[in-house]
């Protein structure tokens, strides 16, 4: 049984349906669902109810499962979840250089065993197209992934709902549902490793704006002060100041090997400014920090907190905490997206 707003709540199901439908409470509409997936999910639900009256309950080995996928720059993880978000089995392989759909299908077959696939939730690196469920041109994936219509490709193979979401947003959803942001209304998540990604979760649903949030590219140094260039084409962004790639460029050593306390104090100062900006705009309950930077949290945190103390006067300070979830973070967020897309079908409101 889950212990937060993502807890599946049993709702009244048609008497001929073999298993009760589940939904999140209290308002679970995520932006990652699409009309396309809703139509497919609704069709499956109706078929389930029609066929149930003439069918014996399925044995455990053929119970439907969800497939959850985390596509990273170097590793891809495919996992099977049963009734709920618990991971029942997973495989990890180097991310495909060629034929990514073929590789994913092979991994899915390996983890699903004899279970029918009920839905597939995927976390992908950005940039991606949410309306089309399409990977665009992530810098750390091979050209075979570029402009790949991942949702359509896997739906045509398995005939089930498929959701695709940015991995930072997946992490934000997972932390809000199961990690450091449970029971909070407004959760902001920063992942800081090579680059800086962000996700915002409000009452269990993602806030993405027209395309996506890009908190890593909030500008902290104005152009006339000759700020360092950023990967986005601009300069003076948070990512250009504290991202792992930028720190390595600035100091001539990999970020994880930096041991000068003054460097991490400066990182804490820039991050404190970003947290102050975030607080001014969104007034969140909690800001969660994740990614490789967390390894240096003790060196960063004092300056971060003192910077926020200096800069924030009108609003109460939000809690600033590190992420709680480990390797399964993106998988759990992908499950949140998938479950959210199903919920919108059953939600009577």
- Positions touching Zn ion (CB under 5 A) are 217, 230, 232, 234, 237
Nearer to Zn ion among residue 236 and residue 333 (C-beta): 236
CB-wise, 153 or 237, nearer to Zn ion?
Answer: 237
Nearer to Zn ion, 118 or 217 (CB): 217
- Shortest Cβ distance from residue 219 to Zn ion (Å)? 8
* Dist CA 248 CA 160 (whole Å): 44
Element (DSSP H or E) covering residue 319 = strand 319-322
Per the DSSP assignment, residues forming a β-bridge with 319 are 286
For 187-218, give one letter per residue: b (16+ CB within 10 A) or e. bbbbbbbbbbbbbbbbebbbbbeeebbbbbbb
Distance CA 99, CA 144 (A): 7
Least separation in angstroms between CB 223 and Zn ion? 12
| 114's tokens | 């004899």
- Measured between alpha carbons, how far is 235 from 224 in angstroms, rounded to an integer? 11
Cβ distance to Zn ion smaller for residue 150 or 237:
237
Cβ 213 to Zn ion, closest distance in Å?
13
Minimum CB distance to Zn ion, residue 270 (Å): 13
Q: How far is CA 172 from CA 143, 148, 256, 273, 290, in A?
A: 27, 24, 23, 21, 10
Task: Give yes or no for a contact between 172 and 213, defined as CB atoms under 8 angstroms apart.
Answer: no
Nearer to Zn ion, 57 or 233 (CB): 233
Closest approach, Cβ 236 to Zn ion, in A, equals 8
Q: Which two tokens stand for residue 70?
A: 């985390």
CB of 86 or CB of 232, closer to Zn ion: 232
What gap in Å lies between CA 44 and CA 324, rounded to an integer? 35
- Nearer to Zn ion by Cβ, of 104 and 275: the residue is 275
From start to end of 193-285, where are the E strands?
196-202, 205-207
- Distance between CA 160 and CA 52 in Å, rounded? 18
- Write down the least CB distance from residue 122 to Zn ion, Å: 26
Are the C-beta atoms of 322 and 19 separated by less than 8 Å? no
Minimum gap (Å) between residue 44 Cβ and Zn ion: 42
């Amino acid at each position: 049984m889950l212990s937060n707003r993502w807890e599946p709540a049993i709702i009244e199901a048609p008497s001929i349906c073999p298993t009760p439908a589940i939904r999140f409470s209290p308002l679970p509409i995520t932006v990652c669902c699409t009309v396309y997936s809703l139509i497919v999910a609704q069709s499956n639900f109706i078929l389930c109810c029609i066929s149930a009256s003439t069918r014996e309950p399925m044995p455990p080995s053929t119970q439907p499962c969800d497939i959850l996928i985390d596509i990273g720059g170097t590793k891809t993880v495919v996992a099977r979840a049963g009734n709920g978000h618990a991971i029942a089995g997973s495989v990890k392989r180097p991310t495909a250089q060629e034929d990514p759909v073929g590789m994913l299908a092979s991994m899915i077959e390996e983890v699903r065993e004899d279970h029918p696939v009920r839905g597939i939730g995927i976390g992908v690196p950005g940039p991606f197209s949410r309306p089309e469920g399409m990977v665009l041109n992530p810098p750390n994936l091979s050209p075979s992934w570029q402009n790949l219509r991942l949702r359509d490709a896997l739906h045509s193979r398995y005939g089930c709902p498929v959701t695709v979401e940015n991995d930072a947003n997946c992490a934000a959803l997972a932390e809000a549902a199961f990690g450091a942001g449970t029971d909070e209304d407004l959760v902001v998540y920063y992942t800081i490793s090579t680059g800086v990604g962000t996700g915002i979760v409000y009452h269990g649903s993602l806030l993405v704006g027209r395309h996506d949030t890009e908190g890593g590219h909030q500008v902290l140094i104005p152009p006339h002060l000759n700020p360092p260039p950023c990967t986005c084409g601009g300069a003076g962004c948070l990512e250009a100041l504290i991202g792992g790639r930028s720190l390595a460029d600035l100091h001539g050593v990999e970020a994880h090997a930096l041991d000068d306390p003054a460097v991490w104090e400066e990182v804490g100062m820039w991050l404190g400014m970003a947290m102050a900006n975030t607080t001014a705009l969104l007034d969140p309950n909690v800001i969660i920090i994740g990614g490789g930077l967390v390894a240096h949290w003790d060196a960063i945190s004092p300056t971060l907190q003192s910077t926020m103390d200096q800069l924030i006067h009108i609003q109460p300070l939000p809690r600033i905490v590190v992420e709680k979830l480990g390797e399964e973070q993106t998988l759990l967020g992908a499950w949140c997206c998938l479950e959210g897309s199903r919920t919108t079908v059953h939600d009577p409101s």
